Structure 1
């Protein structure tokens, strides 16, 4: 591996605490945390922006919507790590063990609402040809209850995960085996 992951024992205390908090909730350390921890300033910036985009409770996007955007656009970018890891989160938030596979392969065939389809149409356009986004795209979102701030969130999530997808590719990051079962089989509580 060209960029070996950080050793948890060697990372800064705040980063270790953040990683251990995630591990406590999930039961494992997602590979992305150790891959990015090798550069502490970038780790902090990455996860601060991740939290700002993915953990916020405001706007018209649910957590499932946010994960759906990541899965659809990461599939276009052929990012196995993000499709599998965020597919797991999508299955959990959407409460559907099949949704992520269809969204990753062809979201237009997924059993999703017209609202979610419009959201993904916009995200995919931002992913594939952002220069072509125009007023008609915003009008289509508005017809489904999305405002300009929601459009910003959709675009920001798409853009942020474009970065994440590329770093996962160049680092050779692979998804943890645990992600493959999340949201498909009942989770045992500790």
Structure 2
């Protein structure tokens, strides 16, 4: 659902239905600007390709959580649960990632992602140096920055359009809601 009147049909819908088993609300919104959506898909793929999936999803969840982007939190929490963490550790990550059994690098990356998600200019030279100390290269650090910034775009577009999470995300919403 969204505040906008979206097209009943779009060339975007078939691919999204094949991928998810339903047409997500975000696809309905972006059916209003299919060229922007195709560009987003290409940019997202390029950014995701710069890091392993687990880090990408942790960074995305940290950024989305910091921004209050519930749709993005739920969609990416589902990937973390299904492929990397399981319910218990996912709840811990969403409650306090410092106490979730993640390695120090993952915690540092999530801290950085959450901070710059709400204020990109808050990144300091000391924080960047700390990420280097965790073994991240300049490219690794920039990839984290890119993930956060593309998430700001996507989450912002959905929020401004009043897009709410799909009913199909209810199972992950229940896991997320069951935080200690």
1:79-105 superposed Cα distances (whole Å, 9 cap, x missing partner) = 111111111112123142234433334
Q: Does the 8 Å contact 2:108/2:131 carry over to 1?
A: yes
Matching of residues 91-130 of structure 1 within 5 Å:
91-130=81-120
Greater relative contact order (CA < 8 Å, ≥ 6 in sequence): 2
For residues 95 and 21 of structure 1, what CA distance do their matches in structure 2 show? 28
Q: How does 1:12-161 map to 2 (within 5 A)?
A: 15-16=11-12, 19-54=13-48, 56=49, 58=50, 61-161=51-151
Give the conservation status (yes or no) of the 8 Å contact 1:108–1:117. Answer: yes
Q: CA RMSD in A?
A: 2.2
Is the CA contact 2:59–2:148 (under 8 Å) kept in the aligned structure 1?
A: yes
**TM-score normalised per structure 2:** 0.84
TM-score by length of 1: 0.80
Report the count of equivalent residues: 173
Cα distance between partner residues in 2 of 1:30 and 1:38:
14
> Distance in 2 between the 1:22 and 1:5 partners?
15
Instruction: Measure, in 2, the Cα distance between the counterparts of 1:50 and 1:6.
Output: 24
| 1:3 corresponds to | 4
Unaligned runs of 5+ in 2: 176-180
Q: Which has the higher helix share?
A: 2
The aligned residue for residue 178 of structure 2 is none
